[in-house]
Structure 1
Amino acid sequence: MTTVTSPTRTVRGHVLPAPGTWEIDPGHADVSFVGRHFMVTKVRGRFAGVTGAVVIAEDIEDSRVEVTIDMASVASGNPTRDDHLRSAELFDVERFPQATFRSTKVVWNGDRGTVLGDLTIHGVTRAVPLEVAFEGHARDPWGGDRAVFSARTRVNREDFGVTWNVALEAGGVLVSKEVQIEIDLETVLGNA
């Protein structure tokens, strides 16, 4: 006899994922960034190589997240810019092929919260807060249970040793120091 357990649960009136390991589906993971060019134009990029898991604990605040990003998988819609992003002047993917995020604390309220964690980029680790929302649950056509999460944060890229820039004649710099990070993840509940 098999026991069917629900992939979601209700906690204080909010539907949340059931406890378990929810593996990131790399084909449905979007880790992207937005910076400014000439201090005005938004430039967007994303990383296709994203792996990891969200481990949901019985007490949601005991949950944890681990994510690895393949820095060479960066794509901004411009091959020349992508090559520059991968170069030693910026991400230096030959020396630092991966970025990682490992949670250290979860503060949760309803269907959203803050996940504090250590973000490592370019060999430098800094504490970063992610504003996270649980977007919902779906069952895929193959019987898998999916939990969808989104997250946002802002970082100063120079804090991670990514300092290349060009001063502009009229003032300012070519590439903004502040970068917004936007994350949308589908996760699949692993077998118990």
Structure 2
Amino acid sequence: MTTAPTRTVDGVELPAAGTWKIDPGHAEVGFVGRHFMLTKVRGRFTGVDATVEIGERPEDSKVTAVIDMASVDSGDRTRDDHLRSADFFDAEKHPKATFVSTAVTWDGKRGTLTGDLTIKDVTRPVTLEVDYLGYARDPWGNDRTVFSAHGKINREDWGLTWNMVLDSGGILVSKEIELSLDLEAIKEA
């Protein structure tokens, strides 16, 4: 007997309740900061392990994630090495960041996900706006659900305070960081 990969909740098609495992090959956990307070600098983490527990009621859903901090990739090796250093992530001493959800609100295909983000042993709450983008069955018979999420954080809240004051005023690296996630998850049997 197989279980349907989707269900209808209040007239909206949503993923079926159960465990969905993030496919790291189809997961983008990205961030955007500003250099000289002007230029957008984008980066991502390629090492992500996450599970989404979809509740019978969408509000009862839970997310847990572990991010390999050494997997940071901004397209520039020198910058990536600096991000891995003690000035920022200190990936040698703190190889993993974690996210554990604490609350979910849901309305149709959109919601908010609040949780505890831990970086360098500092835990702070983060709220992300989430969109359910849909469902697909891949050519190998795996049921996949797709979400995107975004939010903003102040990196200094996690002790990521390295910066330089510019002669013209302002700072080299923005304090505010935009988070952007695009995730495919596979239904576990």
What is the TM-score when the length of structure 1 is the normalising length?
Answer: 0.97
What residue is the counterpart of 2:152 in the other structure? 154
Runs of 4+ in 1 over 2 A off after TM superposition: none
Shift of 1:102: 0.4
Counterpart among 168, 187, 190 of residue 188 in structure 2: 190
Q: 2:174 is paired with a residue of what secondary structure?
A: coil
What is the distance in 1 between the residues matched to 2:103 and 2:146? 20
Q: 2:86 is paired with a residue of what secondary structure?
A: coil
Unaligned runs of 5+ in 1: none
What residue is the counterpart of 2:25 in the other structure? 27
What residue is the counterpart of 2:119 in the other structure? 121
Shift of 1:122: 1.8
2:72 partner letter: V
What is the distance in 1 between the residues matched to 2:103 and 2:2? 31
2:69 partner letter: M
Counterpart among 87, 104, 111 of residue 85 in structure 2: 87
Describe the superposition over 1:47-91 as per-residue Cα deviations: whole angstroms up to 9, x where unpaired. Answer: 000001000011110110001100000000100000000001111
What is the distance in 2 between the residues matched to 1:13 and 1:49? 36
**Where do residues 99-138 of structure 1 align in structure 2 (5 Å cutoff)?**
99-138=97-136
CA RMSD in angstroms comes to 0.6
Matched, 1:178 2:169: no
What residue is the counterpart of 2:52 in the other structure? 54
The count of corresponding residues between Structure 1 and Structure 2 is 189
Describe the superposition over 1:87-125 as per-residue Cα deviations: whole angstroms up to 9, x where unpaired. Answer: 011110011111111000111000010011001112110
1:148 partner letter: V
